[in-house]
């Protein structure tokens, strides 16, 4: 078992200290499945209350200084005012996520729809989200389109790619210097025959055609079962095309469960390749974002647990004895090489990560600290009336 030497511990802690994990506004609201959305007490009724909850998560973890917004779920009249509210709460507004999947017009798609009027409407929403990002100071337009078809012959696969490329070009050219377009892919749902951006290769090709400010977004729940996601991550990093992640975990489909809970070993392997590819370097612009739905579990503790899971997986990845690994790999020592990796994976890093929190002036156990804070009782008492936010379709 790896003994964590003081110098190793210091190195790991300094890298972990620089880790930034963005939380999603929509995961603080009610969510569910087509069968039921179970409302929870104390859930935010406004984007401002979502930001307050995100700020609480940052206060207790120290590594979640921004919250992603989804439009129109988080629409307000005064974007600068919302950004000021976030700043006053100690965090920033992060990635802007357009929504071109919840209007009747989008039944046959949004920017890939056969109807030019619908394409125009969807593209205008994407352009509006660029403007919103300019007002909120966000540097990322995080694009996912639900577009696809359900039956062979329903539409022309090639023509839909032409429509997609046309809309992406218009949005890309509208973006100001310094803003990035991250294109998210998903292999199925809500469409069940084709998705217009089904995999990393399709996203990569469109992003490469657009230019250097377009990169691929990897949602860990968007792959066919058995897909080796860390291979995709390694490949994209090598090509400079990994823009960021939507972290979550799953047993079956796009379950959007707490990252690292369904498959902690996968998260470790993924963070190992992120580190191997330079994604944890100080100058890396890989965006680590969560994208989850806490359908039955308490939302704020779930968010804190997600962050501690990413911290722990990253700490284990940083403990891999890369010299020993390289030597075993180059010697063709199959089991030896795997043993080096597994040794790091089996190392209990919880004391090290707790120590880091103490070093940062935080409670070593943020979930217990949250329970002790009385924040949950307070929001349940205060947030009476109004409409609890959620993303029910
Ligand atoms: C689609 C997705 C996308 C978001 C939505 C909330 O499955 O991952 O990133 O817009 O979830
Ligand atoms: Mn996502």
Atom of ligand 1 minimally distant from the CA of 146: 1
The angle subtended at Cα 59 by Cα 53 and Cα 65, nearest 5°, is: 80
Whole-number pLDDT of residue 392: 57
Identify whether the C-beta of residue 263 lies closer than 8 Å to the C-beta of residue 225: no
Q: Which ligand is nearest to the CA of 219?
A: 2
* Ligand 2 center to 219 CA (angstroms): 5
Q: Which residues have C-beta atoms less than 6 Å from ligand 1?
A: 26, 97, 144, 184, 186, 219, 246, 254, 291
Structure tokens at 214: 């377009």
* Ligand 2 center to 256 CA (angstroms): 8
Atom of ligand 1 minimally distant from the CA of 101: 10
Relative orientation angle of helices 350-359 and 6-17, to the nearest 10 degrees: 60
For ligand 1, atom 3, which residue shows the shortest CA distance? 144
Whole-number pLDDT of residue 390: 86
* Ligand 1 center to 291 CA (angstroms): 7
* Ligand 1 center to 222 CA (angstroms): 9
Whole-number pLDDT of residue 386: 86
Whole-number pLDDT of residue 2: 64
Strand positions, DSSP E, 237-290: 242-247, 287-290
Atom of ligand 1 minimally distant from the CA of 70: 10
Q: Which ligand is nearest to the CA of 31?
A: 1
Cis before 72? omega within 30: yes
Q: Which ligand is nearest to the CA of 186?
A: 1
**How would you write the pLDDT of the chain (393 residues) with one tens digit per residue?**
567 999 999 999 999 999 999 999 999 999 999 999 999 999 999 999 999 999 999 999 999 999 999 999 999 999 999 999 999 999 999 999 999 999 999 999 999 999 999 999 999 999 999 999 999 999 999 999 999 999 999 999 999 999 999 999 999 999 999 999 999 999 999 999 999 999 999 999 999 999 999 999 999 999 999 999 999 999 999 999 999 999 999 999 999 999 999 999 999 999 999 999 999 999 999 999 999 999 999 999 999 999 999 999 999 999 999 999 999 999 999 999 999 999 999 999 999 999 999 999 999 999 999 999 999 999 999 999 888 898 755
Per-position DSSP letters for 168-232, written without gaps between them? HHHHHHHSPTT-EEEEE--SSSS-SSEESS-SHHHHHHHHHHH-TTEEEEEETTSS-TT--HHHH
Q: How many CB atoms lie within 10 A of CB 327?
A: 14
110, 256, 291, 390, best to mutate for ligand 1 pocket (most atoms within 8 Å of CB): 291
* Ligand 2 center to 190 CA (angstroms): 13
Whole-number pLDDT of residue 1: 59
Atom of ligand 1 minimally distant from the CA of 293: 6
28, 95, 144, best to mutate for ligand 1 pocket (most atoms within 8 Å of CB): 144
The whole model's pTM is what?
Answer: 0.98
* Ligand 2 center to 142 CA (angstroms): 9
Whole-number pLDDT of residue 391: 74
- Nearby residues of 154 by Cβ (< 8 Å), 6 or more positions away: 193
183-235 per-position pLDDT tens digit: 999 999 999 999 999 999 999 999 999 999 999 999 999 999 999 999 999 99
For ligand 1, atom 1, which residue shows the shortest CA distance? 144
Atom of ligand 1 minimally distant from the CA of 142: 9
In sequence order, which ranges of 72-184 are alpha helices (DSSP H)? Answer: 79-89, 116-136, 157-174
Q: Which ligand is nearest to the CA of 26?
A: 1
Token match 């394409």: residue?
119
CA-closest candidate to residue 126, choices 113, 108, 141, 114? 141
Whole-number pLDDT of residue 156: 98
Q: How many CB atoms lie within 10 A of CB 36?
A: 9
């Amino acid at each position: 078992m790896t003994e964590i030497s003081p110098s190793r511990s210091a190195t790991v802690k300094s890298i972990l200290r620089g880790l930034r994990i963005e939380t999603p506004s929509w995961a603080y609201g009610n969510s569910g499945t087509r069968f039921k959305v179970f409302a929870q007490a104390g859930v935010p009724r406004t984007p401002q209350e979502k930001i307050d909850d995100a700020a609480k998560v940052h206060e207790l973890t120290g590594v979640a200084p921004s919250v992603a917004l989804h439009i129109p779920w988080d629409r307000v009249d005064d974007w600068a005012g919302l950004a000021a509210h976030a700043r006053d709460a100690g965090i920033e507004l992060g990635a802007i996520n357009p929504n071109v999947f919840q209007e009747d017009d989008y039944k046959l798609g949004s920017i890939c729809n056969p109807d030019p009027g619908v394409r125009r409407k969807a593209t205008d929403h994407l352009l509006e989200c660029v403007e919103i990002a300019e007002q909120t100071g966000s540097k990322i337009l995080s694009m996912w389109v639900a577009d696809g078809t359900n039956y062979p012959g329903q539409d022309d696969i090639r023509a839909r790619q032409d429509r997609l490329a046309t809309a992406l070009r218009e949005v890309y050219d509208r973006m100001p210097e310094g803003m990035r377009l991250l294109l998210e892919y998903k292999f199925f749902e809500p469409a069940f025959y084709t998705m217009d951006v089904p995999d990393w290769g399709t996203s990569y090709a469109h992003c490469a055609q657009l230019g250097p400010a377009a990169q691929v977004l990897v949602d860990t729940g968007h792959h066919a079962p058995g897909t080796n996601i860390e291979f995709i991550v390694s490949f994209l990093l090598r090509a400079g095309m990994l823009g960021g992640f939507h972290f979550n975990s799953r047993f079956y489909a796009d379950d959007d469960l707490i990252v690292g809970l369904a498959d902690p070993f996968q998260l470790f392997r993924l963070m190992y390749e992120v580190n191997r590819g330079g994604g944890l370097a100080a100058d890396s612009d890989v965006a680590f974002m969560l994208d989850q739905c806490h359908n039955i579990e308490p939302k704020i503790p779930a968010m804190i647990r997600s962050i501690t899971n990413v911290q722990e997986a990253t700490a284990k990845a940083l403990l891999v004895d890369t010299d020993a690994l390289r030597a075993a790999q180059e010697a063709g020592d199959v089991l030896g090489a795997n043993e080096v990796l597994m040794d790091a994976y089996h190392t209990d890093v919880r004391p090290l990560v707790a120590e880091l929190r103490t070093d940062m002036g935080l409670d070593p156990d943020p979930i217990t600290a949250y329970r002790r804070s009385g924040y949950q009782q307070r929001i349940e008492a205060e947030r009476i009336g109004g409409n609890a936010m959620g993303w029910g379709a």
